[in-house]
Homo-oligomer: A and B are copies of this chain.
Amino acid sequence: MAESKPNRTTDESTSAVPKAVISRLSLYLRELQHLLRNDEETTNSARLGQLLGITDAQVRKDLAHFGQFGYPGIGYRCEELASRIKTILGTDREWPVALVGVGNLGQALLGYKGFNDQGFRISVAFDLAPSKVGSQIAGIPVFHLDRLPEIVSREKIQLAILAVPSDTAQSVADQLVAAGISGILNFAPVTITSSGDVAVVGVDLAIELEQLSFAVVKQADKN
């Protein structure tokens, strides 16, 4: 229950938490859930750090941004810490998600189980193709893109997954924003520019492979 400690001057409102910390928070949560499945009750910063390849100090510093969760001499209670991190990330609730673009990748994402485990539920999908509109895929109804504003508003959907071709991605993103979406996970290999208070996270599958090929080439050069 420890409340925030930082008695620095004017820090509170501008809680500038480094972006890197947030992405590690998700990793901590993932490891904690793994520990919980193995019936581990407690863990500590050294253990968590080792699992992720970072230092123990880093783990403690990261968590310190959000309060005090640990017990000196003991470590952290897995269940409690996982719960606290979920609250921070916002995954202590269930998020309905809209998916746009029921192509190759889109269909796979509709069936991806991993989302549900973390509180995300794809509740509707959108596409343009008459062959898809009106059908259900993996139990999720597919609507015409025209109905985006109506349904997003009715279902109070805040998050969207964008899995459309590159050349239409920006245009569809604009429609998502206009429909009231506040966060977009973009799989199209283009930069989405959003005006206003919309968060955009991009996942470019080819770029991930490029990072690998660089690593492999670099490694080869060493020998």
Q: Which residues of A contact B (CB under 8 A)?
A: 1-10, 14-15, 22-27, 29-31, 34, 51-54, 88-91, 95, 97, 104-105, 107-109, 111-112, 114-115, 117-120, 158-159, 161, 182-185, 189-191, 197, 199, 201-219, 222
Contact = CB atoms under 8 A, between A and B. Distances in A.
Number of copies: 2
Given A191-B27, A191-B31, A213-B183, A206 B114 contact: yes
A208 B203 contact: yes
B112 A104 contact: yes
A195 B111 CA distance: 33
Nearest to A111: B104
B114 A191 contact: no
The 9 closest A-B pairs by CB, nearest first: A108-B108, A8-B53, A199-B215, A90-B217, A183-B212, A90-B213, A26-B207, A118-B206, A104-B111
Contacts of A201: 1-2, 208, 211-212, 215
Contacts of A15: 218
A25 to B, nearest CB: 8
Given A208-B185, A209-B120, A214 B159 contact: no
A210 B6 contact: no
A215 B6 contact: no
A23 B207 contact: yes
A16 to B, nearest CB: 10
A21 to B, nearest CB: 10
Given A2-B201, A189-B114, A206-B118, A26 B211 contact: yes
A207 B117 CA distance: 11
A95 to B, nearest CB: 6
A88 B216 CA distance: 11
A52 B194 CA distance: 12
Contacts of A216: 90, 158-159, 182-183, 199
Given A9-B215, A108-B105, A182-B219, A205 B114 contact: yes
